Chains A and B, each alone.
Chain A
């Protein structure tokens, strides 16, 4: 994170979304994901829509403006459904989006709500055929008797049109709510995880999936933990991990057996008994797990901290970063206002040297692993002048509040950053507040 001469600085680039303080529930952003090249940035919202932004090609080589993203495509991915058998409404909220690596001109992504995963093809059309023999230009059919000569239709340029079409629908495989999807490095399979099961799919086959993890107890009264996140290893197509509400992570090898109920590795840190409270179980529940790009480490996010684990060491994490330790004494209030159930995500930068996660008051945190430095930044409309450098923020935890510090009691817990994403190859980040998407880039000297 430290460039030549000190800490990296971040500048505002763009903000997407409505300016109103009145947030429509459907506009609440529920997932953010860059594609593998970083050229496309997808967001999903509670209303079941996916909006894809594309990096402006002309500006890619102009350092100050390389993080300009414009709307590329918008489509309704999921609609609200009703399960008549159980009398339950199925929310259309997009829980996760995952891009497939690009194989041809079209782009593919998987999007999922609580029950159904869909594979979307996003393709560009910039030419259209003209000069049909049997059709007029407006589409009306010509009377064959009036045709006296034949011609070959030609393709003529047209305004770029981006079409999104659902190519596969993977439905009816999950009894519980889907929390994760992850594309395998083999580019043929992917996994989907709900509270109690993990299923393996082939991208081409929609009518069946293999159940590879099932932690449902025979007697539901004995239920003690649920699956909270799952991800495939970035390079080893046989390896995946899943995290639990108890704060453990299990690494499984699909070569060992068809059903991966027995883990190959169990990552668990013993609890610090001095931190025991009513809410210990809730705050130890892992909300996100992400492999590093190099595949050597994985990162987990629980309510108060981010932990980096070496895949070769199960006994404890190699690094632990406190995101907002000052909230530990406020857990009771956070329980009452439901904030303690918030599921924060985390992400790595392209070379795995920095990790990022969100917090409250529209703050987000970055931890530079190499230089042992961390920063707290804020995504707000007040700091949204073009290329404005973000000032580091500080929360005052007690005693005298210094100028520019904010006290814990003044934090706005309705403004939370749950979803963040880092460009895979560049220092461009996308940070989602409730209904706005902020794009920042590192300061160019």
Chain B
């Protein structure tokens, strides 16, 4: 359990460093971003494995329990998840690098218009292809605006995770992709996707905690 707490703490520290490095003079440093993402990956893996080993004892606690995937058949199958989990740490590097590279991600599939029936979510081999749990770069809204025809693949993905730790990491990357003004939008969009009010409140709470960590009042 203490390892779990330590892992979460290191994860939180890493995230704030990654976020702070965006405004560094000279731009994002690839080496530093890579090292941060490696630490985050270690911390997340340890958090993940300690959560799994604690899972039987936590079967009764509803607030932290992630949504059951069987209740939402339109969600994509979980097997792409290990790929995206493994790569989520590299996405930090990829995200930082994509700011330095020419923008190629806009040539990737238009995630907004994906039909729910389309199951293939294999990661494209493009150098800067955005991971599928991040919104398309074009899909930015003004603060306060809400999206009704939401990106099917992107925001649904975190909710199919069985582990809230991984979900937290993915949301963090989602947050990192947006400036402070867009954070509120993200909470609203995600809340809309969730059908169960209890989980929605829990996730919103977690997001608020994360936001307050990254942007202290």
Residue numbers of A with Cβ under 8 A of B are 86, 88-91, 93, 114, 175-177, 179, 195-196, 218-226, 228, 245, 278-282, 285, 332, 335-336, 338, 341
Contacts and interface: CB of A to CB of B under 8 A. Distances in A.
A282 B27 CA distance: 20
A219 B93 contact: no
Nearest to A177: B29
Nearest to B40: A278
A196 B98 CA distance: 14
Given A175-B101, A220-B128, A338-B17, 20 more contacts: A88-B26, A88-B27, A89-B27, A90-B27, A93-B26, A175-B100, A218-B125, A218-B127, A220-B97, A220-B101, A221-B87, A221-B93, A221-B123, A223-B93, A278-B42, A278-B46, A279-B39, A280-B42, A281-B42, A282-B38
A285 B35 contact: yes
A335 B100 contact: no
7 cross-chain pairs, A with B, having the tightest CB-CB distances, nearest first: A91-B26, A88-B27, A221-B90, A195-B30, A281-B38, A220-B94, A221-B94
B100 A88 contact: yes
Contact of B35 (A175, A281, A332, A336): A281
Contact of A86 (B10, B13, B90, B100): B100
B126 A219 contact: yes
B176 interface: no
A89 B22 CA distance: 12
B43 interface: yes
Interface of B: 6-7, 10, 13, 17, 25-27, 29-32, 34-35, 38-39, 42-43, 46, 87, 90-91, 93-94, 97-101, 123, 125-129, 131
B121 to A, nearest CB: 15
Contacts of B98: 220
Contacts of B6: 332
A245 B35 contact: yes
Nearest to B14: A335
Contacts of A280: 42
A281 B7 CA distance: 16
B90 A222 contact: yes
Nearest to B96: A220
26 contacts: A86-B100, A88-B99, A88-B100, A89-B26, A90-B26, A90-B27, A91-B26, A93-B26, A176-B100, A177-B30, A218-B125, A219-B125, A219-B127, A220-B90, A220-B93, A221-B91, A221-B94, A223-B93, A278-B7, A278-B46, A281-B35, A282-B38, A332-B10, A335-B10, A335-B13, A338-B17
Nearest to B32: A341
B20 to A, nearest CB: 10
A220 B89 CA distance: 12
Contacts of B101: 175, 220
A370 B91 CA distance: 47
A86 B127 contact: no
Contacts, number: 92
A26 to B, nearest CB: 12
A281 B94 CA distance: 18
Contacts of A225: 34
Contacts of A332: 6, 10
Contacts of A88: 26-27, 99-100
Contact of A226 (B27, B34, B94, B100): B34
B94 A223 contact: yes
Contacts of A91: 25-26
Given A86-B100, A218-B127, A278-B10, A245 B26 contact: no
Contacts of A176: 30, 100
A225 B30 CA distance: 10
Nearest to B7: A278
A341 B97 contact: no
A223 B7 CA distance: 23
A88 B115 CA distance: 37
Contacts of A179: 31
A225 B35 CA distance: 9
B33 to A, nearest CB: 9
A338 B126 CA distance: 32
Contact of A341 (B13, B30, B35): B35
A280 B39 CA distance: 9
A114 B27 CA distance: 10
A292 B30 CA distance: 29
Nearest to A277: B42
Contacts of A177: 26, 29-31
A47 B90 CA distance: 33
Contacts of A218: 125, 127
Nearest to B31: A226
A195 B126 CA distance: 20
A90 B128 CA distance: 22
A423 to B, nearest CB: 31
B39 A278 contact: yes
Nearest to B13: A336
Nearest to A91: B26
A225 B34 CA distance: 8
B73 to A, nearest CB: 29
A335 B10 CA distance: 9
Given A88-B100, A221-B87, A223-B94, A278 B27 contact: no
Given A91-B26, A196-B30, A226-B34, A282 B100 contact: no
A279 to B, nearest CB: 6
Nearest to A114: B26
A226 B123 CA distance: 23
